[in-house]
Amino acid sequence: MPPKCNCLRSGEMHTFLASYLVPGDIVCLSVGDRLPADLRLFDLVDLRMDESSLTGETEAVPKSPDVLCANFPISNMTEVQFSSTNNVNIGDNKAVERLRGCHDLVNIGFMGTLVCSGTAKGLVIGTGEHSEFGEVFRMMHLEEAPRTPLQKSMDKLGKHLSAISLIIISSIVIIGLFQGRHILELLNIGVSLAVAAIPEGLPIVVTVTLAIGQMRMAARNAIVRRLPAVETLGCVNVVCSDKTGTMTKNEMTVSHIVTGSFERYTIPIQQVNKHTDTVCLRVDNFNYINSFAASSGINVTNDITNTTTIKLNEISSQSTGMSNRTNHHLSQMSQTNVRSASFSELRTPYYYPPSLDSILQIGCICNNATIRNDQLFGQPTEGALLRLAAQFHALDERAFYTRLQEWPFSSESKMMIVKCVRNNQSLTSDEPVYFAKGAIDQILNRCAFISLANNPTISMQSSPSDYLPLSLNRYPNNTTTTNNNNLKPLNAETKAEILNEASILGNLGLRVLGLAKGTNSGQMIFYGLVGLIDPPRPGVDACIRILCESGVRVVMITGDAKETACTIGSRLSLYRPGDLCLSGEEVERISVEQLMSVVRNVTVFYRSGPKHKCKIVKALQQSNLVVAMTGDGVNDAIALKSSDIGIAMGRTGTDVCREASDIVLLDDNFATILAAMEEGKALFHNIKNFVGFQLSTSIAALALIALSTLLSLPSPLNAMQILFINILMDGPPAQSLGVEPPDPHVVRQPPRRANDSILDGRLMFNVLTASSIIVSGTLWIFFRELSDNKVTPRDTTMTFTCFVLFDMFNALSFRSQNKSVFSLGFFSNRMFVLAVGLSIFGQLLVIYFPPLQAVFQTEALTLRDFGLLVCLTSSVFFVSELRKLIRLRQDVYFWATYFLSYLKLPKRVKMDNNMV
């Protein structure tokens, strides 16, 4: 439910919290609104709803105010029907039988759904739990959440260990009975072993570790909305990312303009030019500027970009053909920094090339954004067009037009059209004007003419009226007609030239928008195009390189043109010349099976909409890949929902996008994904580490008692001592292994398979090795202290302390499976140091504190005893370090051989080519 809504009460519009709505309120809806309650709709204008959150259908549903014959199936809400005269009849509350699905109720808007297009009003008929969404929410809570793969793996491991432990414990008890031991002693030992050997704390430790990982990811600006997503991050093979707002800053700036007469303008990226005497406009092939400069004494200089810069302070007030008014305006321009400003500050009309006149006008009128106090409210693309007009000190003419209708931009149409009429014209007798902006191919499809607003042979010595200054008297006689002499039919050859210009701008990494207007929406006049630069986010290219090195592919899915997408991809080290690219149209045309055969080799998908993104994600998933999808817009929500991991932008992302995601990036930084994946991989490694630690302790405890029983020896540990070892096994040391800081090299390891078992062969070898050393050392101490075949408190104290110290050194060695503790640092995990310190302190209390001595049947040990035990028990640590060193040298030899062969490969290929 949205936090606020617009409600009509007592004939006045109010904005308040949606939780204050009551049945009978009237809510006003517009594009992008999420419905705060179940509504009976009326006063509809082209209303389409996204009900995917309720029905799962991805297609927008058109709505109608018509009365339905059958009762509509809304649970626990007021039955409402509108007559043809829009009179409201409210009946009694009752649970209506569900005769049809929600998609059949075309006159009902459901709580939680989204307005895709159009406007409407709605009468509140159900709120909260009395809405359809509330009913689904109630049913959802009745269903138990499915177990995650990690949880299932832990359950399976726990069951196997429990079964094996019970078999061994039962065997120990039975063998002890045959040996004539007392039944009560055997029962105490058996119960204690069962408690110690069965890892009942394993699921708790896993859950706590995941929760701590979730907190650590939040500290790194990644909010995990679903806990299972933490474990899935380490399995991701492919990251599908939207370009705008995710890989780029989504801070649009117009940097290039091409007019209908193919005049090319380059505007510096800097919003404010440091030199107050230089206009922020550079012109390519601008013939009449040169002629004007020659006749007016203006010094025109060319810079290294081979463009022309006009310095206004060199314009003489005696320039030929320049009126005093024009001179006055140009003088003011020379004394004013060109900057982004509020339009209310711009009251003086300035003169500029007339070919830009209509481009600036269309960019302002076909626009829903506003700029107040240099802050943008609206879409960055539209804000860039407003700032472009502000740079030229052009007036925002939206106040002088009445907008009759709007066709908003969508990922399907890729263009925006507004239908307007000037305020001083008749709404019935005068033809309205259509203003359009959008993808260049879509704009050209609606254009029949091209404007030649400026002829390059026109001299700037003409009167100021020839420049068509952007002011209220733009059109003579208050008309919006265009001189037919400045128009020519838009033929195929001209379209090809325009598309070529758009391709050139696209190859510069610019987003290209076409601009047109006319009195016929199907035969408009093309006035030019603009190129908008959207700089890549800092650090994204390095992040992509690291992901690729670790075996994770990064795929760009964008709605931009091919040239723009490929150029940005090249700058981000994502795309290389020769890589495969597919358009949304091609994705839609081929089958899923055909897409699966090529999707592994595609790095850029361009001109792609929401349905294309979903098809791409599903094709990757059917190729046995784990897919993460990033995005920030409404058009990304469906793909985020269908991916294995949906990652939304927290700042610029829409509410719909965030709700569909599993992870939200608070800083909108693509590089945060790398940190999140690093945490995900580190968490899985940490889980393996403490599982290995717990298993080695459990196996050692079982083996110690089992061997002593088989050898007809007294029990080396009593019941209380076994329970204390169990506390250490499931307590602070195990928990501290779960919060081990991520190894910087972990992120470069290839992603694990989703069905990989935690207990793999290498981990099992380490567990058995550690258990063997612990059992051997502890039995040796027990044999050494056992002199007369009678167990004394000193015997059990030495054996008990030996096992506990083995446990501490074993925990130290299990901090990493591959990296030496000396390279990790003994104090890098402060929680581990604290946990081991507390455990040793507890052991000393058990040995030296008299009340605890009586409980655990221990006695004080000497410093020499501790020296012997430390030297012996540290063997498990040094054996582990030796194993890691051998493994490291093997890995170094393997990778060195691999890279040497890789470096030699191009030479062999070159020789083969020369031979051929």
Catalytic (active-site) positions: 242
Say if CB 419 and CB 521 are below 8 A apart. Answer: yes
CA dihedral 468, 469, 473, 478 (to 10 degrees): 30
Residue of 616, 622, 619, 620 whose CA lies nearest to 636: 616
Name beta bridge partners: 120.
Answer: 29
- Residue position matching structure tokens 């010349």: 577
Quick one: residue 56, left, alpha or beta (phi over 0 = left, psi -120 to 50 = alpha)? left
Identify the DSSP state of 248: B
- For 781, other C-beta atoms within 10 Å of its C-beta total 24
- Six-digit token string for 200: 């009942």
Identify the DSSP state of 897: H
Say if CB 454 and CB 259 are below 8 A apart. Answer: yes
Cα gap 724→192, rounded to integer Å:
10
Strand 510-518, strand 487-489: pairing: unpaired
Say if CB 766 and CB 880 are below 8 A apart. Answer: yes
Say if CB 385 and CB 530 are below 8 A apart. Answer: yes
Number of H helices, E strands in the chain: 29, 31
What's the farthest any 2 CA atoms get from each other in the chain? 125
Q: Give how far the C-alpha of residue 502 lies from the chain's centroid of Cα atoms, to the nearest Å.
A: 30
- Six-digit token string for 478: 């208050």
Cα gap 559→568, rounded to integer Å:
13
Residues contacting 862, CB < 8 A, separation 6+: none
Cα gap 495→474, rounded to integer Å:
28
Identify the DSSP state of 233: G
Cα gap 686→690, rounded to integer Å:
6
Cα gap 524→770, rounded to integer Å:
80
Residue of 203, 233, 227 whose CA lies nearest to 675: 233
Q: What interhelical angle do 202-219 and 719-730 show, nearest 10? A: 30
629-654 core/surface letters (b: 16 or more CB in 10 A; e: else): bbbbbbbbbbbbbbbbbbbbbbebbb
Query: Degrees (nearest 5) of the Cα angle 693, 698, 704?
Result: 125
- Residue position matching structure tokens 């093997």: 890
Residue of 89, 76, 4, 74 whose CA lies nearest to 42: 89
Say if CB 671 and CB 539 are below 8 A apart. Answer: yes
Residues contacting 532, CB < 8 A, separation 6+: 252, 253, 254, 255, 381, 384, 510, 511, 512, 513
Cα gap 483→491, rounded to integer Å:
19
Residue 292: strand, helix, or coil: helix
Cα gap 175→170, rounded to integer Å:
9
- For 545, other C-beta atoms within 10 Å of its C-beta total 14
